[in-house]
Structure 1
């Protein structure tokens, strides 16, 4: 029997590869810029102990920082995107490691600066800002340093923590290497009986299969692979949690969560509000699970049954060209200017489209200031991947607008708002597709997909967020994070979120062991808060038209990090400091449940 295998990177057509040459035409140019950046970092030490001498010296230092950041971003993004093209390529493994080491070196070199600025009398700093031409451009950034005063250590301690950065990232690096390069999954039979390599990219595709044997085999095969390494993976996860606990204690934060949220000026209550509000509406997810079980006609609903469409006999596949066309039509409410930039991205190879051997799993948008953004996909013609395209291009458009309307100091938007533009695009795509069909079965299929977005983004990511809150809390109390304790806690949460109608297969207890985002602690909650904000914004755009688009693009997408995330969203018309946007999103989930039950009635 012939086995279906992935192409090697060298076999992928150039039109389906991103134009990485727009960053560096070849590796030699990267090496030159790497060396020049390293030389620029050496200049930083000339400013040590001198920042308080004059506004001119401080301005020169901040300009040097911006210059280094500009070149370091280019070096770092190229190295890692080349590595992500094929994670087994030892040359780019080396580039990635070099770039990471350079970033750590830079962090160590500038680590004295914040402490020096904080040691200055505030009136002198404000006087510098007022009387030094050009320094006012850094006003918000300098005041942000002052906000961090309670948690900033002296110069030597800051330098020591920065020097430890490379060592501190070991757990994340080990997991990434294990998850992307080393772990191998068995081959399984697809719907046509063909022996097919099970990969990260194909896993969800198999779970969406109408053939329950394919779903079950994919589920059991992938988790059995992780379960073989459960103790190692628990140790790696625990090491990462302990690393974050060390930094939070060193900086005198009350918890890791508080430390992680403080950077974007997000109150801890926002995190807890999310979990509390979802708990209030947990019955809706239980109702959806029961509806899924009923419509699938199953005596038992298993975890591997959660991803397959519950509307039968609708098998919609989209080529990449069809996906691009759909996204363009769906985003028409954003206006001609937005669409022109979107088309530029489609036509000028911003996107790395298909999976190949060794390619990093998942999808992302990333770029360096001064160049266009890049999007990594593992496109497989599914409806879910059409939404992934809309999602990642939302990120790319956010970056494009920020890069082109903010100086480099404020060009990189905060994580809290990172998922808003992407998810807003998804919501607009769904509204367009629902309004473009009168076919009852197709409409039900799309509503099912919308319900799944709520399940996987609002409920599932909140469950992930609660797992992180609980496990980091366990570590803070001195409790051991072992394969057994982590798996027990995770399985308990799955039961809480999905209810009694779902059979808790043994394997699902180990899902924590394969989630890359857990190595960026207290990140995933922002998918859920971002989804809630995006639902609100998409409705404003559709209901209010041009005025809402103007606020969304002009005050939010172009805002970068020139203000705090919650304030930027308020300017666009959404207040995430309250529970209201989350409740509104869950109200929509309830409406969709009603519609699905009506269509299936």
Structure 2
């Protein structure tokens, strides 16, 4: 690929997703927008009348579901069009309109839960005894579970109206980070001047040329440093909004509020941090091996991403990546592979970076369409695993949508990272097992260990950072740039230990992490990775029975609580065992890598 960032028009069509499968054009979107505006106005038909009987009760829930489905399609299409090129004002406007309509709809829908909870137990039992309510069993149980945290109708309406303001820090961060931020240029290994972007940053951090790595590192953080107080103000406002919602809903803390949405006890979060702390000496052992393998006197933060094995050709085209991922997922069976092939060939994936495109990668879509994947493929091993990861999300969505009605098709974020990470685990195992080249095997194991570093150790550090900064706001402290940087640097010292030089720039890494604007999300990467590691081992060891349990898990959507779905699949996240088993795999891999590097 060219080092010059291309415009979207220059990207071949076969490497772009087909959003026309949601709406054929913007005019169709406008028509559904108008219909959804009409649906919002129907709220008066049901408000204050849910206790009248099961017929009106069910009709109201069906109306709410259709409204939700329309909003999902409107916002997803507009936002994904915007993500193609964040500079296009037309799609910025459509996204804003969809957001505002969602706020209006949230206000219109806000009466449902308080009104259900206001119905007397006797009357509610009479209504619920009607067979038409059987389908809504889990939905209603979940409402009753959170009864003490639901406010009055008037208060819920106010909270719904305020949601757009509460989302403002995230929106502002996205525009500043994706549309307006210019990082600068560096010189690559051949001394060619290239534009450094968030999409290619890791590629240059993996360079075997230490000068390139250091330049990429310092150039990136210099760009963020120029606006450090602005980033701090955004994050401070975001955390304050989350603390506000936790308080007004009568939770003891913002973290309890966030976890309760998944019905996950706080002990799961705390146990993750405690278990990872216990394995930090093994992580420090890994860093010591990295330092020896690189042959450096001091290990710096810009030395973290480069592979151990020098002169290893890790250039993997997108077409090659698709083939390798498919081969690695063979243990999941033909039905799974057939859906994967459909995703490859049917406009699910937007492959390459272009000017203005949203950075990173994600899987999204709507209930009425197939899933979609946004990539910024860089022909690296990391990009191969991003493909495996995001297609794991997409196939989870596919099986859930296929087997569940819309109300239960959406799965909780707590289980969302399981499918994606299991894909990565199977693909990595396949690649390690099928190579006889000791250098390649070492390279792959190093990369697998990097997944542990990035997904278990790093995300748990992020989770601890989030817990600290939310607690600070709950103590009425302000999250200034200086305060945030101190907290973040101290955590880096704890997690990385004495084996590494903590370059000053790393203290401001918090400023560029989008997930911090979605409070208490990142811990789910670590728990999901742990669950996926256990399930992947079961699939390898047991074969078809474990595959059938896993496909049933993918097909369950949100029909039960996340911990229950995982328990049925074969892992119990209320114990430390899955995290311990995952980190025991880390130790075994580290043993292998030490032996391979010594042998070389």
TM interval, shorter chain, is over 0.9
- Which residue of structure 1 aligns with residue 583 of structure 2? 586
- Which residue of structure 1 aligns with residue 45 of structure 2? 46
Residue 471 (structure 1) aligned with residue 469 (structure 2): yes
1:18 match: secondary structure: coil
How big is the shift at 1:191? 1.3
- Which residue of structure 1 aligns with residue 561 of structure 2? 564
1:419 match: secondary structure: helix
2:194 match: secondary structure: strand
Match of 1:242 among 227, 240, 243: 240
How big is the shift at 1:315? 2.0
- Which residue of structure 2 aligns with residue 207 of structure 1? 205
How big is the shift at 1:69? 1.5
1:200 match: secondary structure: coil
CA distance in 1 between partners of 2:120 and 2:56 (Å): 16
The answer to whether the 8 Å contact 2:54/2:132 transfers is no
2:51 match: secondary structure: coil
- Which residue of structure 1 aligns with residue 151 of structure 2? 153
1:187 match: secondary structure: strand
Q: Deviation string for 1:156-214 (max 9, x for gaps)? A: 00000000011111111111111001111111111121111110101011101111111
CA distance in 1 between partners of 2:211 and 2:51 (Å): 69
Structure 1, unpaired ranges of 5+: none
- Which residue of structure 2 aligns with residue 321 of structure 1? 319
Q: Deviation string for 1:442-499 (max 9, x for gaps)? A: 0000000000000000000000000000111111111221111100110011111011
CA distance in 2 between partners of 1:28 and 1:257 (Å): 42
CA distance in 1 between partners of 2:114 and 2:449 (Å): 49
1:549 match: secondary structure: helix
CA distance in 2 between partners of 1:381 and 1:138 (Å): 46
The answer to whether the 8 Å contact 2:22/2:368 transfers is no
How big is the shift at 1:25? 1.1
CA distance in 2 between partners of 1:389 and 1:50 (Å): 49
- Which residue of structure 2 aligns with residue 27 of structure 1? 26
- Which residue of structure 1 aligns with residue 124 of structure 2? 125
RMSD between aligned alpha carbons?
0.9
- Which residue of structure 2 aligns with residue 13 of structure 1? 12
1:164 match: secondary structure: helix
How big is the shift at 1:421? 0.3
- Which residue of structure 2 aligns with residue 274 of structure 1? 272
How big is the shift at 1:4? 3.7
Q: TM-score, normalised by structure 2?
A: 0.99
- Which residue of structure 1 aligns with residue 536 of structure 2? 538
Trace 1:96-107 onto structure 2 (pairs within 5 A). Answer: 96-107=95-106
CA distance in 2 between partners of 1:391 and 1:306 (Å): 21
2:363 match: secondary structure: strand
Structure 2, unpaired ranges of 5+: none
Q: Deviation string for 1:330-376 (max 9, x for gaps)? A: 11110111111110000111000000000000000001002100000
The answer to whether the 8 Å contact 2:388/2:424 transfers is yes
- Which residue of structure 1 aligns with residue 517 of structure 2? 519
How big is the shift at 1:45? 2.3
Q: Deviation string for 1:121-162 (max 9, x for gaps)? A: 23322322222x422111110111111101000000000000
Match of 2:255 among 257, 272, 293: 257
- Which residue of structure 1 aligns with residue 337 of structure 2? 339
CA distance in 2 between partners of 1:187 and 1:160 (Å): 47
1:52 match: secondary structure: helix
1:349 match: secondary structure: coil
CA distance in 2 between partners of 1:206 and 1:518 (Å): 24
Trace 1:426-445 onto structure 2 (pairs within 5 A). Answer: 426-445=424-443
- Which residue of structure 2 aligns with residue 403 of structure 1? 401
1:375 match: secondary structure: strand
CA distance in 2 between partners of 1:529 and 1:535 (Å): 10
